[in-house]
Amino acid sequence: MNFGYTDEEERFRQELAVFLDKHLTEEIARQNWEDKGVGPEAREFSRKLAAYGFLGMGWPEEYGGKGLPPAYDFILLDELGKRWGAHVPLDVGYTMVGHTILRRGSEAMKKEFLPKIVGGEIEFCLGYTEPNAGSDLAAMMMRAEDKGDHFLISGQKTFNTECHYADYHWLAARTDFSPQGTGYKGVSLFIVDMDAPGVTVRPLWTMSGERTNEVYYDEVKVPRERLVGEKNKGFYYMMEALGSERNQVFVPSRLRPVLNMLLAYAQETRYQDRPLSKDPVVRRQLARAAVELEVAEVVADHSRWLEALELPMTHQPEMTKVMVSELEQRLVNAGMRILGPYGQLEEGSPWAPLGGRIEWYYLHSFMTTIGAGTSEIGRNVIAQRGLGLPRG
C-alpha cells in the first residue's frame, strides 16, 4: 500500500508548479474554466505548455508524447486545478477524444490528429446530446447516411459546449436505421470540421454566464476517412472512454482554491470582536468541506490508479464523478452561507467579496451534478455495475 508519489513524479510536479505560477494568469485560468471561453491567451498558453514539455507526458512517443505513465498527466490536471485552471485549455481533445482516437482510430487518423492534440494546437467539442436524447443518450436520432465515400449527415445536437471555438466536432450519429439498429446498436462516431458547409452553431447562454450551443446539420458531407473505427460501434467506443473521461474531468484539486479562499476569508473577516473562523458553525462547515475534499481526493486517486494500471474500472470513475460534483455543491453552498448577504454580489459590484468568485461558482455548481450524466444516472450505474443489481 502506498498513497504517495515517486521522487520523479514529485520533481515533475515542482517544475510544473514553477512554470504555472509564472505563466498561468487569472485571465487564462478563467478562459480555461469556461466562464469566459477559450480565447487567444488560453490558446497561447496551451502551446506554451506543450513547448515547455508539460503536455503529452502519458502519450506514445510516435505521436509526439513522452511515453510515461498516466500519473504525470494527472499531476498536470491537479496542479492546474489548484490554480483555478480546472483543466488543460483544449481539454476535450486532450482528455477525452484523443484517447479514443488512439484506441480506435485508423493509423492515418492518429497521424493527422494526435500530434496536434498532444501539441496543444487543436480542440474538439462533443456532439452527443440531442433535444430528445439526454440521459437516454442511446435514443439519439441524428442521421448519417452511408453514401460510400462519404456520409450525409442531418439533424440537431444541443448543449454542445465549446463548439463555438473548437476546430472539430466529435459527433455521434445513427448509421443503422433497420429494426436491429435501434438504441445503442446503430450509432457511429465521426470527426467533422466545424467549418464544414451545412453546420450551424447557435449559442445557448447558461445562468452562470457560460456559453453552450445548439448545433444543426443540414446535409453535411463527411468523408469516409472521418468515420472513427468501425461503423455502428460508436456507442461502444463512447462507453469504453467514459471511465477515463470521468477520471480526467472530475478533478478534486480544483476545489482547493475555493476552500482556501473561504478559509482566508473566515480568518480575516471579523464580527463581534472576533474572526468568523471562531464561530462554531463556520468552523464546522469549513472542517467538513476539508474532510470531504480529502476523501474525494483519495477516491479519485483510486480510480486513476486503476486506469494507470489498466485494471478493470466498473463503478469507480462514476463514484468519483458523483462525489466530486456533489462535494462542489456542498462546498459552495457552505461558502454562500459564510458570506451571508454579501454572497449575492456579483463580480464587479461594490462590496462583492472574494471577487464574486463564490457567487459565480454557486451558479456554476448547479450544472456539475447534471453535465456529463446526472447524479441519478450515476447512482444507477454504481448500483448496477458495482453491486450487480438488476437493470431497469
Partner 1 sequence: MDFRLTPEQQMLKDSARDFLADHCSSDFVRQMEQDRRGFTSELWAGMAELGWMGLLIPEEYGGIGWGLTELVVMAEEMGRACLPGPFLPTTLGALALAQAGNEAQKQEILPAVVSGEAVLTLAYLEAGCAVYDPLFQAATARKQDGAWLLEGGKLFVPDAEASHWILLCARTSGSLRDQEGISLFLAPRAARGLELRPLKTIAGDKQFEVSLKEVALPPDALVGEAGQGWPLLEQLLMTGALAKCGEMVGGAAKVLEITADYAKERVQFGSPIGRFQAVQHHCANMLMDLESSRFITRKAAWSMGQERPNPMLVAAAKAWVSEAYRRVVSLGHQIGAATAYIVEHDMTLFSRRAKAAELAFGDAAYHYGQVAQRLGL
Judged by CB under 8 A, does residue 58 bind partner 1?
no
Provide the pairing of β-strand 124-127 with 168-174.
parallel
Work out which of 126, 241, 323, 352 binds partner 1, going by CB under 8 A.
Answer: 323
User: Would you count residue 269 as binding partner 1 (CB under 8 A)?
Assistant: no
- Per-residue CA distances from 232 to 64, 190, 227 (Å): 30, 11, 10
Closest CA to 124 of 156, 69, 81, 165: 165
Q: Name residues contacting partner 1, limited to 107-126 (CB under 8 A).
A: none
Q: Is 2 in the site for partner 1 (CB under 8 A)?
A: yes
* Residues contacting partner 1: total by CB under 8 A: 48
Name residues whose C-beta falls within 8 Å of residue 186's C-beta, 6 or more positions apart in sequence: 174, 175, 176, 177, 178, 180, 232
Exposure pattern of 77-101 as b/e (b: 16+ CB <10 Å)? bbbbbbbbbbbbbbbbbbbbbbbbb
Q: Which amino acid is at 361?
A: Y
Closer to partner 1 by Cβ: residue 248 or 316: 316
Q: Spell out the residues 6+ positions from residue 272 whose beta carbon is closer than 8 angstroms to its own.
A: none
Judged by CB under 8 A, the stretch of 56-64, 83-91, 119-127, 299-307 that binds partner 1 is: 299-307
Which stretch in 28-36, 171-179, 223-231, 376-384 sits in contact with partner 1 by CB under 8 A?
376-384
Q: Which of 93, 83, 86, 59 is nearest to 73 (CA)?
A: 59
Restricted to residues 4-43, the positions that interact with partner 1 (CB under 8 A) are 4-5
**CA-based R_g, the chain, Å:** 22
Residue 68 near partner 1 by CB under 8 A: no
- Which residues in 207-266 contact partner 1 (CB under 8 A)? 263, 266
Q: Which of 118, 220, 319, 334 binds partner 1 (CB under 8 A)?
A: 319
**Which amino acid is residue 341, in one-letter code?**
P
Q: How far is the CB of 134 from partner 1 (least distance, A)?
A: 16
DSSP 290-327: HHHHHHHHHHHHHHHHHHHTT---SSHHHHHHHHHHHH
Which listed residue (10, 219, 268, 294) binds partner 1 by CB under 8 A?
A: 294
Asked whether position 277 contacts partner 1 by CB under 8 A, the answer is: yes
For residues 19, 20, 24 and 25, what is the CA-based torsion angle, rounded to 10 degrees?
-90
> Using CB under 8 A, which of 130, 292, 307, 359 touches partner 1?
292
CA 349 – CA 356 distance, rounded (Å): 8
Nearest approach, Cβ of 137 to partner 1 (angstroms)? 17
Q: Residue 336: what are its φ and ψ, rounded to 5°?
A: -60, -40
Quote the least distance from Cβ 128 to partner 1, whole Å: 23
Shortest Cβ distance from residue 283 to partner 1 (Å)?
A: 4
* Binding residue for partner 1, selected from 53, 135, 287, 344, defined by CB under 8 A: 287
Should residue 295 be labelled a site residue for partner 1 when binding is judged by CB under 8 A?
Answer: yes
Question: Could you tell me the three cell numbers for 187?
Answer: 450509432
Counting contacts by CB under 8 A, is residue 387 touching partner 1? yes
Please pick, from the candidates 48, 143, 302, 330, the single residue that binds partner 1 as defined by CB under 8 A.
Answer: 302
Which residue, 37 or 386, is less far from partner 1 as judged by CB? 386
The distance of closest approach from Cβ of residue 277 to partner 1 in the complex, given in angstroms and rounded to an integer, is 4
Is there binding between residue 331 and partner 1 (CB under 8 A)? Answer: no
Dist. CA 312–CA 303, nearest whole Å: 10
Which residue's CB is nearer to partner 1, number 211 or number 379? 379
Q: List residues binding partner 1 (CB under 8 A).
A: 1-5, 71, 263, 266-267, 277-278, 282-284, 286-288, 290-292, 294-296, 298-299, 301-302, 305, 308, 315-316, 319, 322-323, 376, 378-380, 382-384, 386-392
